[in-house]
Amino acid sequence: MIVRAPSGALAGHAALTGMTMKQLLDFLPLVVFFIFYKLYDIFVASGALVVATGLALVASWVLYRKLEKMTIFTFVLVAVFGTLTLVFHNDEFIKWKVTVIYTLFALALLFSQWFMKQPLIQTMLGKELELPDHVWRNLNIAWALFFLICGLANIYVAFWLPQSVWVNFKVFGLTGLTLLFTLLSGVYIWRKMPQQEQK
């Protein structure tokens, strides 16, 4: 159950912490992927990623007693692209998976920006935070652009650089960038809160 925080500063901290905890849980399958890649190859690692992502899904349910649509959606794509990688013995599928996920996330954010009553970011975090509409829209468009840039960067690293470089980029580069952007978003949220809410 989500409880509204008593102050804006605490709410901002709770929202940022919640996002970070979820990202840490999402990071565990990537660690498994990295370890199996180093021990075996990209194909064994892809299979391990599918299994680990499924286990992370179960862990989310056990811990929170609910599953976010985005978490389920990500697992489905990981399972599909991971299976295609193994069936066709072609690592291009698992490489494209990253760009497909980021692009679909960006499109969902942009769709909500233009065609929905509330931007998707506000729908996700609006229960913890009270911010002006323009701040929500700025955050929403910023995350959409972030996902698009990451998707394009993945194409370059995946298909123009060695496979080992792409694995490091996927596991550590994109994760680090996402955590950094989450932190910057938290700072932006805090700066845009009414002064009495920050106390």
pLDDT value of position 1: 30
| DSSP 8-state code for residue 2 | -
pLDDT value of position 113: 93
pLDDT value of position 16: 45
pLDDT value of position 45: 98
Report yes or no: 91 and 43 within 8 Å, Cβ to Cβ. Answer: yes
Q: How confident is the model at residue 26 (pLDDT cuts 50, 70, 90)?
A: confident
Give the range with max mean pLDDT: 6-10, 96-100, 175-179: 96-100
pLDDT per residue as tens digits for the range 158-176: 999 999 999 999 999 998 9
pLDDT value of position 197: 52
Angle, helices 8-39 vs 42-64, to 10°: value is 150
pLDDT value of position 192: 81
Picking from 181, 191, 117, the residue whose alpha carbon sits closest to that of residue 148 is: 181
For residues 103 and 90, what is the distance between their CA atoms, to the nearest angstrom?
21
pLDDT value of position 195: 61
pLDDT per residue as tens digits for the range 100-121: 999 999 999 999 999 998 999 8
Mean pLDDT, the chain, rounded, equals 86
For residues 87 and 46, what is the distance between their CA atoms, to the nearest angstrom?
11
Amino acid at 148: L
How far CA 156 is from CA of 5, 30, 138, 143, 147, in Å, comes to: 42, 20, 27, 20, 15
Tell me the CA end-to-end span of the chain in Å, nearest whole number.
Answer: 25
Q: What percent of the chain has pLDDT over 70?
A: 85
pLDDT per residue as tens digits for the range 43-77: 999 999 999 999 989 988 888 888 888 889 999 99
pTM of the model: 0.83
For residues 78 and 126, what is the distance between their CA atoms, to the nearest angstrom?
28
pLDDT per residue as tens digits for the range 139-165: 999 999 999 999 999 999 999 999 999
